[in-house]
Amino acid sequence: MVGWLLNELPAVVGASLVVFLFLVPTLIGAVYLQPVFGRLLKDEDDPNTPVGLLLNAFTLYYAVLLALLTIAVFDNYNKAEDAVGKETTALVALYRDLRGYPEPARSQLIGLLKQYLDEETGTGWSSQRWGEPASAAVKLVDQINRQITALRPDGGGSDDALHASTLERFNRWVEARRARIQAGETSIPPILWYVVLIGAVLNVFVLWLFDLGRLTQLIVSGVLISFIGLVIYMVAALDRPFRGPNGIGPDYLLSVLEQIKKP
């Protein structure tokens, strides 16, 4: 349910919902719980000084954690996008080599390549978004592999060179495809999410220790937790690079499919 909210709703709606879920309990707590927690330091002459030092140290480490997570998800997102580009390049090169084969092998292989692209840009891409195996696409890759390896060039010279080039380009395509699938399966471990969420709660707890006026407490707590909520939403939305409205789509592969379908 949470994954659907983060990955299927439009970005503005999803971000607003996450901020709302963080903000409302924080503001309610600032009204009803802050007076209770604030009395924990009633024996201090100036309780805001030690609390300020604690907040500075805590927010520093928490900010570093969020920054590292942000860098990690952006790096994985870029790797996934790069993997799709490399797969597209490898498919175009493979298609060009397949066009050099005589009939009927050429039509059979190009037909299988079309089937693969139809499958992978449709149900296969939807399956990848949710981390499910695309068995139909795997079977098509195996069929292409069997047909290419079964070919035995008998013309010598240029035919042998074409077949060797085709095998090399096929292997590059398989490697690029594997890299794309692996990039889609990479995500932040659950233990880190627990640390992030607990850290957000502790941030609010430290804020409630401050001896501030009611309005000031609401403003400070609301602004800080809203920003934390936005950052957490961004990290969660980009954690799975193929999901959601900001996920990577099959546009590059669709361009190859259009090229192959041209007469």
What are 97-118's pLDDT values in tens digits? 888 888 888 899 999 999 999 9
Please give the average per-residue pLDDT across 64-89, as a whole number: 90
Please give the average per-residue pLDDT across 35-54, as a whole number: 82
42 pLDDT higher than 80: no
H or E stretch covering 41: none
Give pLDDT, residue 66.
92
Please give the average per-residue pLDDT across 32-45, as a whole number: 80
pLDDT in tens, 116-125: 999 888 888 8
DSSP state of 39: G
> Which tokens in the block code for residue 218?
């609401």
Q: Do the Cβ atoms of 149 and 138 come closer than 8 Å?
A: no
Q: Do the Cβ atoms of 208 and 26 come closer than 8 Å?
A: no
Give pLDDT, residue 224.
92
pLDDT in tens, 189-214: 889 889 999 999 999 999 888 888 88
The DSSP code sequence of 173-231 is HHHHHHHHHHHHH----HHHHHHHHHHHHHHHHHHHTS---HHHHHHHHHHHHHHHHHH
The residue range of the domain holding 222 is: 2-261
Please give the average per-residue pLDDT across 206-223, as a whole number: 89
Domain count, the chain: 1
Q: Which residue do the tokens 């069929």 mark?
A: 143
CA–CA gap between residue 199 and residue 162 (Å, rounded): 59
Q: Do the Cβ atoms of 187 and 7 come closer than 8 Å?
A: no
CA–CA gap between residue 67 and residue 62 (Å, rounded): 9
DSSP state of 47: T
